[in-house]
Each structure stands twice: as structure tokens, then as C-alpha cells.
Amino acid sequence: MEGLRESSTTANAPPLHTVQLMRRVPFNLVFALVYSVAILALFYLHARNLYYSTSLVSVFITLSLLISDLALAFMWTTAQALHLRQVRRKQFPENLNKVIERNDYPSIDVFICTADPYKEPPVSVVNTALSVMAYDYPREKLSVYVSDDGGSALTLFAFMEAAKFASHWLPFCSKNNIKERNPKAFFESNYYSSPETEIIKTMYECMKGRVENVVERGKVEDEYITSDKEREVFSKWTDKFTRQNHPTVIQVFLDNSKDKDIAGHHLPNLVYLSREKRKVCQHHFKAGALNALIRVSAVMTNAPIILSLDCDTYSNDPQTPERILCYFWDPEVRATCGFIQFPQLFKGLNKTDIYAGQFKRLFQIHPSGFDGLMGGNFYGTGGFFSRRVFFGTPSTMLTPELPQLNPYYVVNKPTQSQEILALAHQVAGCHFEKDTDWGIKKGFRYGSLVEDTYTSYRLHCEGWRSVFCNPERPAFYGEAPISLTDVMNQQRRWVVGLLEMVFSKYSPLTFGLRHNGLMSHGYSQLGFWAIWSIPITIYAFLPQLALLNNLSIFPQVKSPWFLLYAFIFLGAYIQDLIDFVLANGTVHMWWNDQRMWNIRGLSSFMFGFVEFILNSLGISTSGFNVTSKAVDDELSKRYEQGLFEFGVASPMFVPLVMAALMNLVSFAWGLSEIVKGGRNMEGLAIQIFLSAFAVANSWPVYEAMVLRSDNGKMPAKTCVIGTALTWVIYVAGSFILK
């Protein structure tokens, strides 16, 4: 099969990796064919209804259903591209020693981004850093760069402490062959307790206490500073230093050429960077931070491999770098492989994952579909890049502004030499990118709030391939938001970013199609998430309003068209369920997942859609609103119990209240008609079913509106506004539909 290599490397060497088409692919194909016939039949029905429409009302209703079904059909079609060549990969790191000596391993630069010490507690960022610093990899080949867009002395202090703790933690991990190298995760696990472990634990607790204390007080008090050298580090935080306006701060906390751990082994480099920020300069959020990291790391270490991590994504497997070498060490793969992405997996989700925070389709199911085409896309964190990918297409390399930024340049001066530090400051400066093609053709691409998806899309268009690597032991774990407001704000940001991608001049519908048809379908499936809000909203209100006015808008139960509707609905839902369960999901999680799909459609997708339109008209602008990773005990408790967290009034809750009420009323009305033996029951069956389905989905909303008294209940204001608006559309609907 073209494009799919059965195995790798030279003929006699043992394989480093394999790839296989999944067994379900032929079934997917057959089902897709049958289903497309059903979709065509449905459009025939709509066209016929439109043609025979006799009144304005029926034209309006048919058109609404037609538009909804067009949106659904479009999303279904694009999704098929991701069902056609789903693959499963395996790696054999155990064969690595037959083709490469440990001494010859390539260097790796790890990037960790953080942006706000209050939303992203520095202790957690430190834990993430420690987990990768402790990789089973030659330490002198490992560098960890932390980018702090919050420009916070608190975060800097945390890393000063981390550097000291690392010299105990790293040898402890390797000596005891520990798998959980994030200290927090380790001490929360079922570890074997020994005097040594208890000492390390006390050290960890001490470090954590100091960092938390500093964060709580909001400043680094003198008592925490132990030397003049340390004091000097903080001297940059003058009164004029603010988050949006400050010079570059670069601090090398550990230097792998000099610093040793308590067992006398090398420690990896640990570098803190807060790039220059000026109000007059655009900083491009995370994409800008990553590009600054690419340049600063180039000047200091220039490793050919880069791992990009969010501050909450810690390593769960110390062997991960060796696993990716199975690809990067394969010459055939290396020539065109731009990056290797691991799935985003999360710790701390509740039992049934009420907010569908796993995003199984996005992070686990679809990537294997992309992977059979050109490769999984980048998800912002847990991606290993070849440095070369940021400098042009596989065949033509773009020359950087300075020779030292060239991905093949060999750094020949010590990291902390004057010259290197001066150059690092220069490339981290906010004017450096002016009149260059950083963000346009080089590095992470600007112009979309989902810099990850957008960048990988552009790289795939350039001809780079990638790999989706999904080993049995998860390589990384991250955190998902646990309050509904956070969930929705995150989703809204994503939708705005995705729309920025699909309406750019590089849209997958135009530019993308010319470069790679099937991949572009996949990217459109992702990029057009927002349009789901159209059918979801129409199906949440229109059939119900019609039902309340005794107006049948779907086929009668006895009509053959009824079967078509049943097939389309059940077919989509059952296929989705099967995909979900095959990806290690449970039925209950799946139910919550489809509920969240509806909730997002009614709310965050819709708000994102509107926000994007307002941005395009120049009425507003969107920023990268960082998701909070701080824990609130009360909130965590409610989340553990599986309760939805509404709490603070938000306009995004209003459509949920409206849909919940509208469907409750229409369902109740439908039931009472059934009891009374109404005449038109056969014609209204689908509408009554839809109402019942929405009522079942709205359970958490009713619960939050009437049954709960805790702080996470639905705010009274939202209930009142939602009820009033439901009443308004009911009256308006009755007026029109009568």
C-alpha cells in the first residue's frame, strides 16, 4: 500500500516500528457507502418537500431542516476521510541498541510553556519539568526550556527551587527505576515506602511549601533568598516590570556541562526564559512564545529534536524519547517526518467524564485516521518535532536570519558564555521578528488561536509527514478543566481559532484541497466544528415549537421515510458509540460525550461563531484566555460527585436553560396528547422522541435549576433570563406556526 511502510530500516535489522491498517476499515467503507445513499435520499425528500411547499411557514421549516442537514452531511462527509485509512502503529525501542549506541543519541530540547502563576500553579509547572528532566536519556543531551509568558518572579523562584531538588530527585528515580517521575504523581501513587523515599518526600514537601508560600504572598521575600547571586536574579523585577512590558529574562539554572547531581552524574540543562514584551509589539500568544523558544534554544543547544509541552503535561513514561527514536532514527522516516504526536490524555477526570474532557474523537480516534493519510496532527502538547520542520518544506530549506539559528548549526561555546547569552537575549527580543517570516513561513504559524492545529495543517500542506504514536503506557498526562465555565471558554477559544484557520487564505477548502485532498477533509472536519451549532440549535427548538402547535414536520410512523430517519439517526449514533467503546470508552462516558456535543453546539460553538464574526467585522478581538489549572477543593468535590458546575452567571448557560425548558414543555405536551389519544400522534412521533431525547440530555440542567443548593447550582439570574427568553420564542413561534 502506497505511503504505508510495512516496517522500517535496512533489510536485516530488526524492525524499530510497524504500521498496520485497522481491521475495521472495510466495514467503515461499506457503511459509508450505505450511509451516503441514505443521505442522498434524505436530500431528495427535502427537495420534494420544498417543491411542494404551499405556505411560507412550510418553506421556512423545510429550509431550516435542509440547512441543518446540509451542515450535518458536510461534517459527516469530511469525517469519512478519517475513517478510510485508520492505522495502528507499534514501536520496538528494545531493538534500538542494535542500530544505535546510547552515546550517539541525538540531543533533545524540551519546551514547557506557562503563562500565569495564578492559573497555572508554579509547583505543577515544576513537576512537569522534573518529570522530563528525569527521562531515561543521556542527561548531557537533554535541555529543558521553560517559557514564562506571565513574566513572573514567582515562577522563576519555583525553578530556582526545582533546580536544587532535581539533584536529589533525578538520581532517586534512576536508582529505584521509578516510572512516575513527576514527584506529585509518584507520591500520590502506591509507592514502596523506604527511609530514602521518606527523606525525598520531605524534601519535596519543603520545596512545594516554599513555592506555594511565595505564590500566596505574591512576592519572593528576602528570607527565601540564600545568596547574592540569587538576589541578583530577581533584580530585573523593578517597579516598571509588568507582564505586558518587560525586558527579556533568561536564567540558566542548571548547566549540563558543569552541574552534577548528588550521585555525581550530569544534570540536564534547565533554562528559564521570559521573552521581551512591549505594548507596541504583537506577541502572538503561545505561538510567539514557542518561536522565541525555538530561537533561544537554537543559540544555546540547537538540539535536532524538540519536544513541546504545555505546563500541565507531564511525562508518565521515562522511555518516551527512546520510543520516538524508533522513528527519528529510521533514515527513511527522518527525511520527511516533521513530528511525532502522542495522544493528549488526562489525569483527574471523574468516573464518567461528565464534560467529555477526554475528547476521545479528537485526541484518540481521528488521529489514527489522519495517520493513515499523512500523519496525526499536532495537539499543542506531547509532540516531538524535528527542528528542521520549522525552516521550510522537506525539499527546500529557508535560511534563517543568523547562522546560529540554522537547524544544522553546531553550538561550540558554553551555554553561559557572554556571547551566547547576548545572542539569546537578541533573538528573544520582541523586535527580532519584525520583517522576517517567523510565524508566516518559519516556526509556529500566527493568525489562529489554535496555533497547534493550524501549524500542523500548514506543515502537512508543505509536504511534511507525521506520526501518531499511541503506546500502551501513556507517554504524557495533562489536566482538563473541571468547571463548565472553563470548559466552555476553552471550547469557544478553540472554535474561534479553528474558524480563523478555515477562513484564512490557507483554508482547507481551497488551498488545502490543492495540496492534499483527504487530509484537507480531515482538517475541515476539525476546522468547521462551529457549524454544528446550526443543526443542534435548530433541532433543539424548531421541532418542539412545531409540536406545541400540533404541526407535524417529519414523516409519519407508517411512512417508509420514517425508516430512513430512524436509520440515519441510529446509524450515526451507533457507529459513534462503537468507535468510542473501541477506544477504551464506556457506554456511560459515551452518553456524556454526546451530551457535551449538544451542549457545546448550543453554547460554546455558537458563542465562538458569533465572536469570530464580530472579530472579522473589526468589532472585537479575541485573546488566548488561559484555562485555569488551579484547584478549588469544594469545586473538585462536586466534580468528583459528577455534578455540573454552573455557579457564576454566564450568557453561555442561557441557551442550555432555554433548550431544557422548551423540550420539557413540548415533551410534557406530547405525553398529555398521547394520554388523551390525540389524532396526530403518528405524525408527531419523531418530534416527541426528539423532545424526550433532549430532556434526557438536559437532566444536569434541571438538577442545577431546581434540585441543588450548593455553590455550583444554576444562578438565579440565568434561570430567569432563560425562562423569559423561552417564553418569548414560544410566543413568537406560536404566532408564526399557527
For ligand UPG, the binding residues (CB under 6 A) are 113-115, 120, 147, 149, 285-286, 289, 310-311, 380-381, 449-452, 490, 493-494, 497, 624, 626-627
The entry of ligand UPG, Mn ion, none that residue 131 binds, CB within 5 to 8 Å by partner kind: none
**Which amino acid makes up residue 538?**
I
Binding mask 616-655 for Mn ion (x = CB under 5 A): -----------x----------------------------
CB of 476 to ligand UPG, least distance (A): 11
Catalytic residue among 116, 452, 579, 593: 452
- How many of the chain's residues bind Mn ion (CB under 5 A)? 1
d(CA 579, CA 581): 6
Nearer to Mn ion (CB atom), residue 128 or residue 650: 128
The C-alpha cell at 624 is: 488566548
Q: Among Mn ion, ligand UPG, none, what binds residue 611 when CB lies within 5 to 8 Å by partner kind?
A: none
**How far is residue 175's CA from residue 689's CA, in Å, rounded to a whole number?**
61
Of Mn ion, ligand UPG, none, which one does residue 597 interact with (CB within 5 to 8 Å by kind)?
none
259 is catalytic: no
Q: How far apart are CA 460 and CA 515, in angstroms?
A: 9
User: What single-letter amino acid sits at 487?
Assistant: V
Out of 69, 116, 149, 261, the active site residue is 149
- The candidate with the shortest Cα–Cα distance to 574, out of 552, 588, 590, 592, is 590
- Here the contacts of 582-588 (C-beta below 8 Å, separation 24 or greater) are 582/24, 583/360, 583/364, 583/365, 585/358, 585/360, 586/352, 588/352
Q: Look at residue 626 and give the partner it binds from Mn ion, ligand UPG, none, a contact being a CB closer than 5 to 8 Å depending on partner kind.
A: ligand UPG
Partner that binds at residue 113, options Mn ion, ligand UPG, none, CB closer than 5 to 8 Å by kind: ligand UPG
Edge-to-edge order in the sheet of strand 314-315: 314-315, 476-479, 346-347
Taking the C-alpha atoms of residue 267 and residue 140, their distance in angstroms, rounded to an integer, is: 7
DSSP run (H or E) holding 169: helix 153-175
CA 433 – CA 276 distance, rounded (Å): 12
d(CA 486, CA 420): 41
| Between 554 and 612, CB nearer to ligand UPG | 612
Q: How far apart are CA 696 and CA 693, in angstroms?
A: 5
Of 155 and 666, CB closest to ligand UPG: 155
Give yes or no: 452 in active site. Answer: yes
The entry of Mn ion, ligand UPG, none that residue 497 binds, CB within 5 to 8 Å by partner kind: ligand UPG
Q: Which does 322 bind (CB under 5 to 8 A by kind): ligand UPG, Mn ion, none?
A: none
* Residue 141 or 284 having the CB closest to ligand UPG: 284
The Cα–Cα gap between 733 and 550 comes to 12
689, with CB counted inside 10 A (0-12, 13-18, 19+), is middle
Query: Taking Cα atoms as reference points, which of 436, 488, 499 lies closest to residue 648?
Result: 488
Residue, CB closest to Mn ion: 627
CA distance 353 to 360: 11
Burial of 244 (0-12, 13-18, 19+ CB in 10 A): exposed
Min CB(78)–Mn ion separation in Å: 25
SS (H, E, C) 210-274: HHHHHHHHCCCCHHHCCCHHHHHHHCCCCCCCECCEECCEEEEEECCCCCECCCCCECCEEEEEE
Phi–psi pair at 180, nearest 5 degrees: -80, 95
CB of 454 to ligand UPG, least distance (A): 9
694 near 659, Cβ under 8 Å?
yes
Q: In terms of CB distance, is 42 or 362 closer to ligand UPG?
A: 362
**Between 450 and 701, whose beta carbon lies closer to ligand UPG?**
450
Distance CA 307, CA 309 (A): 7
Cβ closer to ligand UPG: 355 or 539? 355
| Cβ-based nearer residue to ligand UPG, 442 or 629 | 629
Contacts 24+ apart (CB under 8 A), 567-572: 567/38, 568/35, 568/38, 568/39, 568/42, 571/31, 571/35, 571/38, 572/35, 572/76
The answer to whether 304 and 472 have CB atoms below 8 angstroms apart is no
C-beta of 474 vs 497, nearer to ligand UPG? 497
Q: How far is CA 313 from CA 111, 273, 661, in A?
A: 11, 19, 39
Instruction: For residues 500 and 497, give the distance between their C-alpha atoms in angstroms, rounded to a whole number.
Output: 5
Least distance CB 288 / ligand UPG (angstroms) = 7
* Chain residue whose CB lies nearest ligand UPG: 380
Q: Among Mn ion, ligand UPG, none, what does residue 603 contact (CB within 5–8 Å per kind)?
A: none
What does 389 bind: ligand UPG, Mn ion, none (CB cut-off 5 to 8 Å by kind)?
none
State the nearest-atom distance from the C-beta of 321 to Mn ion, in Å: 22
Shortest separation between residue 379's beta carbon and ligand UPG, angstroms: 6
Alpha-helical runs (H) found in 410-532: 418-428, 451-461, 484-502, 513-515, 517-527
Residues 6+ apart with CB under 8 A from 713: 646, 647, 704, 705
CB of 165 or CB of 363, closer to Mn ion: 363
CB atoms within 10 A of CB 618: 7
Least distance in angstroms from the C-beta of 361 to ligand UPG: 15
Residue 149's binding partner out of ligand UPG, Mn ion, none, with CB under 5 to 8 Å set by partner kind: ligand UPG
In the bound complex, what is the minimum distance in angstroms from residue 552's beta carbon to Mn ion?
46
Judged by CB, which is closer to ligand UPG: 69, or 120? 120
Which of 292/635 has CB closer to ligand UPG? 292
Out of Mn ion, ligand UPG, none, what residue 114 binds, judged by CB under 5 to 8 A for its kind, is ligand UPG
Beta pairing partners, 19: 89
The string of DSSP codes covering 180-211 is --SHHHHHHS-PPP-HHHHHHHHHHHHHHHHH
Residue 656 interface partner, choices Mn ion, ligand UPG, none, CB cut-off 5-8 Å depending on type:
none
Q: Which residues bind Mn ion (CB under 5 A)?
A: 627
Catalytic residues: 149, 452
